Amino acid sequence: MNYRRANAGIIALALFSLLLTNLLLPSAIWADDKSCWIVASMEKVHVHVTEMDADGAGETTLWQGWIEQGDRQRIESTRGQIIFSYRMASEDRTQGDNSTFCSNGNTVSIP
Tens of pLDDT, residues 58-73: 789 999 999 999 999 9
Please state whether beta strands 81-88 and 95-101 pair in parallel, antiparallel, or not at all (unpaired): antiparallel
For residues 91 and 45, membership in a common domain is answered with: yes
Which stretches of the chain drop beneath a pLDDT of 70? 1-31
* 53 and 17 assigned to the same domain: no
What was the pLDDT predicted at 32? 79
Residues 21 and 40 both lie in one domain = no
Output the pLDDT for position 31: 56
Residues 70 and 46 in one domain: yes
Structural domain span for residue 6: 1-30
Residues in CB range of 63: below 8 A, 6 or more apart: 38, 47, 48, 49, 73, 75
| Statement to judge: residues 42 and 6 lie in one domain | no
Same domain, 62 and 12: no
Total-model pTM: 0.68
